[in-house]
Structure 1
């Protein structure tokens, strides 16, 4: 009796037939890069980028030819596309790894206690010291205020659209949310500048316009709100309808079903959308520059006087003529990324803990 795992003579391999060894792929990669290098550098038509592209094309052609020969055409096409997908993944990963490596390598120069305990107040161009504590405080306060404002509004707006909204009014809300998603950050800053700084702030500031961290938080809220609404809306729509129907069948009111069933089910996705909006707000520079003004000293009062942020600090230090400023800018950028990472991990753990406890 013929073993089904072994293909009969003259036919292609079976389900467990011959497989192309890993050494063959390594050899194909070496040969492809060698041929590409010989063509590019031998003729002088290009550099290492063209060599890599040409080597990839030759490698894919070699994989298709060898695998088709050993395993059949179908396996050859499948393996070629698999190699292409893996190469695309590596190519997409290169910029991310490059950014992280650059931030760590250049930002570690001033990653010391002085940077996190001092400000730029009374720091001259020839002074190597000076930190970003004032910018860190400003970022935390502005983002916290913006989060407190936008998270309840965004979640409630999404609940209305999904659970209650019907007809043209709900469609109009979705339209304006989509439009707000594409608003440039400087437009949000100009809106708060013309409304809050120039019209509202003189009312409580003896008739004089006043920059403040709260104004920056309002501008960040305009940018955060559409992201939270759209992400929460999509997560609420992914909640299975039988969960709602089962709750209604038990006599639970609609508002309690939303509060105890729908929102907890969609909570991980909602938290992800909130953290995306916080990350965007923490990295905005134009609104803070327009309505908070920036400051070299610590200001813990977000409702009065100028206030800085880490993104504005990076912008100002990167454009400063001092030879010590670039190091401060890189360290501030690394600090900003670390803050967003810490907040994201903490939010994910919080959402996961709540989900497990239920």
Structure 2
């Protein structure tokens, strides 16, 4: 009798079934990206009705204050909930005591008022650090080569109060001084700014990815030395979590990891351990790399832009600061 061999049945599980059609892939997609996940960083400069491209950040410009209402209206139309303001300060206004940082009429505070007056539904986030106003280029006051912590915190509190009085919705302390979150929270409560949130740059690393940003705010030539004595060593993840825990205990409402993609492990650990609103900053160097590769035809710019932002969401981030925000929002809105 002839012997017949029968082929073993294929396993019942065929994962490719769920990848077969665009509609099915969309239905089972685990992570979702929307315009509501984005914060748009915008650079502000002096002048009237003009803008200047930032050479190291293709597609990004500095804008005068009078152009901000139109940009805010664009953000609102696209569903981007917040804009973050960064000033390009006239070098003549930079001093060792950084007093321009809390001038009620400095670029940042005028920008806050311009946006809130024109498009009140768009939230304004600020940057709290002294580097845009510091003749030494540092985030804190420098004396005899040392960044002075407590005196800097006192200056940051005055800076934060001026921003809150101008109408800021979210304060973003990015300086990494010890104790600044508690001091800022105390100031906000004492002055009845109970609904002003703090999104703390709790895990800000001493990174080489910030170079183009320093060009954008005019801090590149001013910086003396490095920022290793106050920003976190890139080798340390446990320390980053300790800084997040400290800032939350002092009154931070949300926390930030900066840079973003090189530190996705920190994003994931932060969200898993603390379960609080967690953000990342896709910083200037990350943006510039992707843009340069796309412009050279080495990468599909649209796909890597979207994929990079999806990575933040997959890692656990609730939102991302990204210079890609308006372009991404346009794509996402067109996809619906």
TM-score, normalised relative to structure 2: 0.25
More strand by share: 2
**Looking at CA atoms only, which structure, 1 or 2, has the larger radius of gyration?**
1
More helix by share: 1
